[in-house]
Amino acid sequence: MRRAAVPLLLLASACVSVDKGRQMEDRIQRLEDEGAITARQLEEQRAVIRDRIARVDQKIAEVQKKLDELNAASHRSGADVVANQDKLQESVTRLQGQLEEEQHHLSQLDQSVSSMQSDVNGRFAALRGAGALQEYEAKEKAKALKRPSEKAEFLALAQKQEAQGEQDVAKELYDEYVKRWPTDPRAADAYFRMGEIAFGEKHYREAVISYGKVAQDFPRSDKAADALYRTGEAMLALDMRDDARAILEDVVARYPKTSASKKAAARLRELTAKKKPAAKKPAP
């Protein structure tokens, strides 16, 4: 009987784990269902208000057309035309008020949808773990920052966030920069900093992608040699030694007079030394 106790305990533990997993799946599914229903309801309300706005717009256009016709005939109709104009102008004013009210309702609905979506995203991130929650919080912080319209100021904002230790927020801003201005020469700096942040967080595959964008899209940038060298370092961290060696050799060949080339050459010598088998001791 004692021997049977251990398997029974293991079986019970496995059942508990499976139950917890199913409970987690059920919670996520409920969140998805709730979010979908609420979003659909809000979208239906937005559609109704948009339809109202369209009808009001059409009515204003019709009234305005009547006003224009009356203005054209004003020299023939005298006082009656003036009276009709006043009535039509009142209608236009009333309709414009309705239009503003409907637009205000639509704006409130948009805010509700945005708030609901943010809440759902936050709850999902919390369920998926610390990494997802951290990324979500960084996106929310970045979203709250006022965006400069000038490229130089935008990049400076990202650099300031990084200098203040807000690495994930800075990464969001750098990513936004390269999407808004993909061909700008300073996009090379943004990609390089994204790579450095990812490397520091040990997200080496992500780092390889960011460094690679510098080397591929901005080969004449002053960051190109360093980006290529750091690509090799990230590949070594991923235990991709042959690929890393090829990248480091490329640094030496393409950028021979740079500090990155010297570091790459030193790294290659180190890799070669590690690869050589140890010398056998002579037999006594």
Cβ atoms 42, 112 nearer than 8 A: yes
Q: Which of 77-81, 162-166, 208-212, 272-276 comes out lowest in average pLDDT?
A: 77-81
Whether 58 maps to a domain, the answer reads: yes
Residue pLDDT, tens place only, 188-247: 999 999 999 999 999 999 999 999 999 899 999 999 999 999 999 999 999 999 999 999
Shared domain check, 190 and 260: yes
Whether 83 maps to a domain, the answer reads: yes
Give the span between the Cα atoms of 162 and 154, in whole angstroms: 13
Instruction: State what percent of residues in the chain have pLDDT above 70.
Output: 58
Q: Which of 25-39, 58-72, 263-277 comes out lowest in average pLDDT?
A: 25-39
Cβ atoms 146, 173 nearer than 8 A: no
Whether 33 maps to a domain, the answer reads: yes
Whether 38 maps to a domain, the answer reads: yes
Shared domain check, 189 and 122: no
Give the span between the Cα atoms of 146 and 154, in whole angstroms: 10
pLDDT of residue 274: 77
Residue 255 one-letter amino acid? Y
Q: Which of 76-90, 91-105, 110-124, 221-235 comes out lowest in average pLDDT?
A: 110-124
Highest mean predicted confidence (pLDDT) among 42-46, 47-51, 256-260: 256-260
Whether 75 maps to a domain, the answer reads: yes
Sign of the Cα pseudo-torsion (61, 66, 67, 72, in order)? positive
Domain span holding position 55: 11-128
Give the span between the Cα atoms of 199 and 174, in whole angstroms: 15
pLDDT of residue 55: 75
Q: Please determine, for residue 106, whether its predicted confidence score (pLDDT) is greater than 70.
A: no
165 or 75, higher pLDDT: 165
Could you identify the residue written with the tokens 């998926």?
Answer: 128
Q: Please determine, for residue 114, whether its predicted confidence score (pLDDT) is greater than 90.
A: no
10 or 134, higher pLDDT: 134
Q: Please determine, for residue 184, whether its predicted confidence score (pLDDT) is greater than 80.
A: yes
3 state DSSP class of 99: helix
pLDDT of residue 44: 73
pLDDT of residue 14: 47
139 or 246, higher pLDDT: 246
Whether the pTM exceeds 0.75: the reply is no
Shared domain check, 197 and 95: no
Phi, psi of 202 (to 5 degrees): 65, 25
Whether 246 maps to a domain, the answer reads: yes
User: In 10 A of CB 101, how many CB atoms?
Assistant: 14
Whether 124 maps to a domain, the answer reads: yes
Whether 69 maps to a domain, the answer reads: yes
pLDDT of residue 83: 62
Give the span between the Cα atoms of 212 and 123, in whole angstroms: 34
The secondary structure of residue 182, as a DSSP letter, is T
CATH number of the domain to which 242 belongs: 1.25.40.10
- How many domains is the chain built from? 2
Q: Please determine, for residue 69, whether its predicted confidence score (pLDDT) is greater than 50.
A: yes
3 state DSSP class of 282: coil
Shared domain check, 123 and 192: no
Last residue of a domain, one of 128, 152, 169: 128
Q: Please determine, for residue 152, whether its predicted confidence score (pLDDT) is greater than 60.
A: yes
Shared domain check, 120 and 202: no
pLDDT of residue 192: 97
